[in-house]
Amino acid sequence: MADRRDIDNAREKIDDTPTIACSRCDREWDLAYELDELHAGNGALEQFALDHRQHTGHFPDDVTPWLAECRRCPDHEAFLSERPARRWAETHARHTRHRVVLQHASIDEPLTVEPTK
Ligand SMILES: [Zn+2]
Ligand SMILES: [Zn+2]
């Protein structure tokens, strides 16, 4: 009978599960749940960040969200990239005729999305 233990050992050594920290929660997580249970793959970090915000109201460390804020309603949404943030702003403006402001750490001036006529 072949001894398969060396193979298992080799597998255990591959410990590249990414981790993410949140200083507000004073905790660190690995993303095994996102990878194994949610099959989030490359989006594991984003999935974690969005879930973290949904359940705690804030993003974990090293995540700078795009914020889309309506000037008229108390409505605001946070996104991890520009595209969905812009899409939210444009659809909100389209349906409500409200002006929406987009903000992100990478831009100096907030972007304003005007409702289309
Ligand atoms: Zn947190
Ligand atoms: Zn609005």
> What is the identity of the amino acid at 103?
Q
Per-residue pLDDT of the chain (117 residues; tens, 9 = 90+): 555 555 555 555 556 788 999 999 999 999 999 999 999 888 898 889 989 998 999 999 988 889 999 999 987 888 888 999 999 999 999 999 999 999 998 999 999 999 987
Closest Cα to residue 67, out of 90, 100, 115, 44? 100
How many angstroms is it from 30 CA to the middle of ligand 1?
14
Cα of 72 to ligand 1 centre, how many Å? 29
**Relative to the alpha carbon of 49, which ligand is closest?**
1
Q: How far is the CA of 60 from the centre of ligand 1 (A)?
A: 5
Task: Say if pTM beats, i.e. exceeds, 0.75.
Answer: no
pLDDT value, residue 64 = 87
* 6-18-12 Cα angle (round to 5): 10
Phi, psi of 107 (to 5 degrees): -115, 140
* CA 111/CA 109 separation, integer angstroms: 6
